[in-house]
Chains A and B, each alone.
Chain A
Amino acid sequence: MKKLLLLFVLVFFKITSFASIQPVDFEDNTQLDLYNKIINNIKCVVCQAQSIVDSDTDFSRSMQALIVMQIKEKKSEQEITSYITDRYGDKVLLNPPVDTKTYLLWFMPIGICLVLAVITFKNLKKLL
């Protein structure tokens, strides 16, 4: 029963660290929404596939502070994101744009899945 309960907790409750989220004082909720939107799409470049919200590194904290500063200077989402990608490249985005450089990245997994589906379909009789 205990094991079942533990399994239930592990499966249904996501354990997330909020240690790196700094209290921020914005003028209004629009700025807060913009802040949350941007920080959730910026990757911590010294971590493995973590956003700057999920990691507690110096890099993440500095980047968060920089974003806060730029939002308070009334910069738009486009301006802030461009500032960051100009320096760290599109690889800093957790959701990189679909363009000629990233076609393979976006569509290759679909291609692989299609090929696998064809193989499975062709061998369906043998499998059954």
Chain B
Amino acid sequence: MSRKYNLLITSILILLVFIFFSFVLFNKSENKKVDTKYNEGRVIDKNNQIYNYLKDDKKNIVHFWATWCSACAQEHEFLKEYIKKNKDVNLISVLFKDDISNVDFKNIKELYQFNINDSNGFIALDFGVSGVPESFILDNKGKVLKHIIGSINNGELK
């Protein structure tokens, strides 16, 4: 009786530990995107000039990257090929906490339709970015359809 009882208690304990760790490790709650100033599709420069970067007839992708990020450099090669094959893409660059003089604009000229410099990282925080590379697929009103953490690949852009 005592042995059966101990076995039962041990099983319950293992089950509880399993449930606890499953909850901690796999509980990925969806980030809400509300009242976000920048992903409405507008940015304001130092002279208070407002720019709209979203296009109605295209797939809008906001891409956070930096020159110091090696994964981003590899990703640029993939994106160049992707843009050549998919003309309906509006790719927006957000340079994350970087010195703009480090950017080789000749290299990315054909890649991005719009360039934003996020020197203090506030635009990234407003989107809920934790590091680069990260990308967001937005509809023409700025609603986030997909949040891609890490490098983009073909499967994620479908």
Contacts and interface: CB of A to CB of B under 8 A. Distances in A.
Chain A facing B: main interface SS = helix
The size bracket of the interface on A is 20 to 34
Given A66-B122, A122-B6, A59 B16 contact: no
Interface string A44-87: 01100000000000110111011001000000000000010011
A115 B23 contact: no
A104 interface: yes
Given A45-B130, A86-B35, A112-B16, A119 B29 contact: no
Interface string B114-158: 000000111011111011000000000000000000000000000
Interface of B: 2, 5-6, 9-10, 12-13, 16-17, 19-20, 23-24, 27, 29-36, 97, 120-122, 124-128, 130-131
A87 B126 contact: yes
Given A45-B130, A66-B125, A122-B5, A88 B31 contact: yes
A118 interface: yes
Contact of B9 (A62, A91, A118): A118
